[in-house]
Amino acid sequence: MKPALNTVTLRSFAPEQIVSILQENRIEAVEWAGDVHVPPGETGKAESFKALCEAEEITATSYGSYYQSDQGGQGNGPFQYDLGAGPALETAKALGVKALRVWGGRTGSEAASAAYRDEVSGCLRELCDQARSDGMTVHLEFHRNTLTDTAGSTGALIEAVARDNLYSYWQPRHGVSVAENIADIETLGSRLSHVHVFHWNLLADGTIERRPLREGRDRWQAYFTAIDQLPGERYAMIEFVRNDELSQLSEDAAVLRRLLGL
């Protein structure tokens, strides 16, 4: 695995600053997110970021589009992009990446109806077919309040879509044991692609507390050991750091590099 960074980590920084921060922390790859830096459909901006990465020898791994993979409607979170798959795909192409990250709907697997699962499956099937013509892969966000909130539901969705260019990211579920998270990794198997890395504590009131990655070093070592058993190459992407502080990013990046044996 190789280290990378998702730009949600640095929402308040300009792209040129992000590239400098990457270089300072010996991270040579970036996932551009569609919430602030590269909104879907802004292909001119995406092309300029592609040129920036090429000039500074930074690998653009993927585009985090926030496309919800359904036919539209009111979302529950801050990223209510109902522009359809087209702008997300065109933006990924302009960035020069071969991986497009999307969301598996906007309803948790337990609450979703069979009809909604069919809707999301159909949207993903169409997107995968469009992406294939451009040599691209599609990657589901492994996230609560979506159809990909468990490994079992994610696997069922991938099976329903039935396209070999559909994969799933992975990140640990909170409130479950290390063994249960490793079981998720094993269930996703070869369909597990990139990994979003952060360390959060689930508090008694149900809220999340961001903590330094070093405090989760042992569990992340166990996760990486399990992931290393899977075929293929993938990136371990820092996604969030405590208080969005640059000093914490630097510390977490150093911890990640040691965990990856770099």
Higher pLDDT, 106 or 31: 31
Rounded-to-integer distance, Cα 118 and Cα 124, Å: 10
User: Treating both helix axes as pointing N-terminal to C-terminal, what angle do 15-24 and 43-55 enclose, rounded to 10 degrees?
Assistant: 30
- Whole-number mean pLDDT of the chain? 93
The share of the chain scoring above pLDDT 90, in percent, equals 86
What would the mean pLDDT of 209-217 be, rounded to a whole number? 96
Tell me the pTM.
0.94
**Would you say residue 82 has pLDDT above 80?**
no
Domain count for the chain: 1
pLDDT value for 73: 59
pLDDT value for 231: 94
pLDDT value for 85: 87
pLDDT value for 77: 46
- Look up the CATH number of the domain holding residue 146: 3.20.20.150
Higher pLDDT, 212 or 82: 212
pLDDT value for 75: 47
Rounded-to-integer distance, Cα 133 and Cα 128, Å: 9
What would the mean pLDDT of 106-114 be, rounded to a whole number? 94
**Bridge partners (DSSP) listed for residue 202:** 208
What would the mean pLDDT of 123-142 be, rounded to a whole number? 96
* Contact status, residue 165 vs residue 137, Cβ threshold 8 Å: yes
User: What are the Cα distances from residue 30, in Å, to 130, 142, 194?
Assistant: 24, 19, 12
- pLDDT tens digits for range 55-79: 999 999 999 998 999 987 544 444 4
**Bridge partners (DSSP) listed for residue 63:** 32, 100
Rounded-to-integer distance, Cα 150 and Cα 176, Å: 11
**Would you say residue 177 has pLDDT above 90?**
yes
Give the domain extent around 104: 2-259
Question: Cβ of 89: how many Cβ atoms within 10 Å?
Answer: 23
- pLDDT tens digits for range 12-67: 999 999 999 999 999 999 999 998 899 889 999 999 999 999 999 999 999 999 89
* Contact status, residue 234 vs residue 194, Cβ threshold 8 Å: yes
Rounded-to-integer distance, Cα 63 and Cα 194, Å: 12
* Contact status, residue 131 vs residue 138, Cβ threshold 8 Å: yes
pLDDT value for 203: 86
**Would you say residue 196 has pLDDT above 60?**
yes
**Would you say residue 81 has pLDDT above 80?**
no
pLDDT value for 78: 44
**Would you say residue 121 has pLDDT above 90?**
yes
Token representation of residue 87: 């702008």
The share of the chain scoring above pLDDT 70, in percent, equals 96
In sequence order, what are the residues at sequence separation of 6 or more whose Cβ sits closer than 8 angstroms to the Cβ of residue 199?
210, 211, 212, 213, 215, 216, 220
Rounded-to-integer distance, Cα 219 and Cα 237, Å: 16
pLDDT value for 83: 66
pLDDT value for 257: 97
**Would you say residue 181 has pLDDT above 60?**
yes
